[in-house]
Structure 1
């Protein structure tokens, strides 16, 4: 039995983060952190895709392209936003503390690997020879597309809003942000659940489906609970005394429009 490709992916993932951690620590900068995240997703999924010889199956190709498109778009967008703003406030304390910085870069390695879980399983262990896509794959890809468009539109709306001088110091409550306080996070959570569905519908064993669910569950926890609480706290500190913001919070759900 050969060395599992998924293990190679994990090693490369960690190696990328450690390499750029050194550069980040020396330069005391965070400006390429998110770009490296996108690069890591593309590199890791490409290793799994090509080393497992999955480049001649429609299911694998679509799954691979979806991840690469998302990673390239988000990585470049976040890098542009940080370079435009001049800094990433999240890293003000982290980038001058080597231990915190090392933990953060390793956290990105975990984020990349666990998020890719369902597709890594698909590429490594699914029997795809001669199989056409099932209805489940089309459902999953449709959900991915919905989530991707939601994330892209929300990010663009906020970028345009913040770019207008008259909106300086204001919170965004228009467009998708009028029905969800964090539509970009909703989009990302949705798209990963879509790719999970498209991946696991080829497996008949229930335990494969449960283990692969670690991916979207991890994304949901990371964004829907951990990151969301941090952003809400930050917004409360900035706009807490603003009556308009309090009204916005009372009328607009935190994540899923009209539900949660």
Structure 2
């Protein structure tokens, strides 16, 4: 098993099989449920997450869940786009989510080191929480992100089901989404290049010269772009922006503080933080 876990190819095959089975299980549950589409989707999403969680425990690696963040929205919006009447508004959402999802999944696969490699944040949580880690693993690492991303993709689902046409707001939201994913593309590319150099210092080149977390900015903007697309064609459903808001709060209260704390041990961090914005990649 250790040999397989150390192999990136075999590890990717195992995770791919897990996700295919999780998607099939989620679809089966969704079809069998008698409630409204959004409730059925929520339950199916939770069941699929539990399935992935079980395998993450079996394999002893919470990073089995990592691709869920980018795979789940693509599967969901594609499913609704092709089972409902495909309108211009849905098409723009489909393009936005697929572009974002392919880029983010490819970035995860590029940096994936095999099933013996676990995200440093999960390892840190395990060290800090001790006996509470199994609960933290299920509720915090798996279920909470699933619910956040469910809230983020829900505006796209309502748009697809409503079969409405695109307007100027749809185009503006699409531009935000494509721009956000492209920002992440450049930021992650610069980070990969920096890590390849072998430097253990702080990255202070490219977008990272002006922002400590330009990749997080892209992720935040992405879901506001999706929300804008939906609300622009369904203004009465402004509450659909709750998902984007929850995602933003998660980054400000969890992701950014954890990343900053990890970087704070590096020499020159205080100076870097004082002169570099957290998110906006513009000079001070």
Give TM class, smaller chain. Answer: 0.7 to 0.9
1:137 CA drift (Å):
1.3
**What is residue 37 of structure 2 aligned with on the other side?**
5
- Of 93-102 and 151-160, deviating more is 93-102
**SS of residue in 2 equivalent to 1:32:** helix
- Supply the RMSD in Å over aligned alpha carbons: 2.3
* CA deviation map 1:116-170 (0-9, x unaligned): 122122123x352xx4x311111111111211111111011001101112x1x11
More helix per residue: 2
Contact persistence 1:6–1:48 (CA under 8 A): no
1:92-107 → structure 2 map (5 Å cutoff): 92=123, 93-94=125-126, 97-103=133-139, 104-107=141-144
**SS of residue in 2 equivalent to 1:83:** coil
**SS of residue in 1 equivalent to 2:113:** helix
* CA deviation map 1:95-121 (0-9, x unaligned): 994322221211232122111122122
**What is residue 190 of structure 2 aligned with on the other side?**
157
**What is residue 122 of structure 2 aligned with on the other side?**
91
How high is the TM-score relative to the length of structure 2? 0.78
Number of residues of Structure 1 aligned to a counterpart in Structure 2: 244
Q: Taking structure 1 as reference, are residues 204 and 6 closer, same or farther at Cα in structure 2, changes over 3 Å only?
A: same
1:89 CA drift (Å):
1.1
**What is residue 96 of structure 2 aligned with on the other side?**
66
* CA deviation map 1:47-106 (0-9, x unaligned): 33334x13x212101202211221232133224313179331112254994322221211
1:215 CA drift (Å):
1.6
Contact persistence 2:187–2:208 (CA under 8 A): yes
**What is residue 24 of structure 2 aligned with on the other side?**
none
1:200 CA drift (Å):
1.0
How high is the TM-score relative to the length of structure 1? 0.85
**What is residue 112 of structure 1 aligned with on the other side?**
149
Q: Taking structure 1 as reference, are residues 68 and 258 closer, same or farther at Cα in structure 2, changes over 3 Å only?
A: closer
Where does the alignment leave 5 or more consecutive residues of structure 2 unmatched?
1-33
Where does the alignment leave 5 or more consecutive residues of structure 1 unmatched?
none
**What is residue 224 of structure 2 aligned with on the other side?**
193
Distance 2:175 2:107 in 1: 23
Q: Taking structure 1 as reference, are residues 80 and 94 closer, same or farther at Cα in structure 2, changes over 3 Å only?
A: farther
